[in-house]
Amino acid sequence: MSSIQTQFLDLTAHHDRYAAIDPRAAMKGSAAGKTVFIAGASRGIGQATAVAFAEAGAKAIYLTARTEAALKETQALATTANPDTQCSYSVCDVTDAAEIEAAVADCVAQFGGIDVADANAGYLGPWVKIGDSDPEGWWRNWQVNVQGSYHVIRFTLPHLIESARIRAAEGRSGGHLILLSSIGAQLVMPGASDYQTAKHAINRLCEFVQSDHGEDGIKCFAMHPGGVATELGRNMPDHMHEYLVDTPDLAASFAVWLSSGQADWAKGRYLSANWDITELAALEEQILRDDLLVNRLRTGAF
């Protein structure tokens, strides 16, 4: 088992939003005045994330996905959650750099900037052994999960850096970037070579964003959303479905907490939405001292 996981087996595991991260309670107002850009917002976790940021008082939310009807549904849900939150969208594919660049530009033109970017779009194909895999299907995981995340990072970064500067002057925290990871990044399971290697790369990409742009004020996180019975999650083999016990609201509320400033000390790291944030915060000193929750060989590995 990865050392990332063994350090935190004793943390309380949550499966739904709870008081400390509830956007309607403890996190209410934490997103006030902020604009949130969400890629992959048409359903499931992305849709719940839009609603959660609206509940937390976001000034504006900008949604992207490939299906307009689903985007309209998410827009309606966010507006219902908070009529004061402006919400707009554009249809685009995260694997197309020009489309993401245009969506980011449209968001900034409408709302003046971006304070939080959530690279939520994901893909999970059938689990098959490498020798039986379809080359195009295998690579599709990397195109959506890694290339798509890179596109969101690349084109939102200038605006997130500006957000960090502006919010710091206000005495607040800005410039938050959330990449959708998975506990699968820490595992090696037969048939999951495409998905699990892609998510492992996401964790390292998060570290690189922090290394390259931490001095610019960026706070990047690789977030495991829990086991959620989304359409994507149900693409796992049937015997894995018993682990899909978490609600989309858990990851959505955890994303709000990550963007509140309270988690800034853990930037550049892999974090699980299942972990209790109070217990996690109590381990801050140890995590920073021992450089935990990052991809490293164990001491004495050789």
**3-290: CATH homologous superfamily?**
NAD(P)-binding Rossmann-like Domain (3.40.50.720)
User: What is the pLDDT at residue 228?
Assistant: 81
**Average confidence (pLDDT) per 10 residues, the chain, 302 residues:** 48 95 97 98 95 98 97 98 98 98 98 98 91 95 97 98 97 98 90 95 98 98 86 63 82 98 98 96 94 80 44
Q: CA-CA distance, 29 to 20, in Å (whole number)?
A: 14
| Cα separation values, 194 from 56, 60, 116, 244, Å | 35, 35, 28, 20
Rounded Cα gap, residues 48 and 252, in angstroms: 6
CA-CA distance, 59 to 79, in Å (whole number)? Answer: 11
pLDDT at 301: 44
Q: Which positions are annotated as active-site residues?
A: 195, 199
Residues contacting residue 89 through CB under 8 Å, at least 6 positions apart: 41, 62, 63, 64, 65, 68, 71, 72, 74, 75
Domain ranges of the chain: 3-290
pTM above 0.85, yes or no: yes
Residue 10: what pLDDT? Answer: 79
Q: How many Cβ atoms are within 10 Å of 91's Cβ, its own excluded?
A: 16
Distance spanning both ends of the chain, measured CA to CA: 17
For position 238, what pLDDT does the model report? 65
Per-residue confidence (pLDDT) for residue 229, from 0 to 100: 62
CA distance 243 to 249: 16
Q: Which of 22, 32, 7, 25 is nearest to 85 (CA)?
A: 32
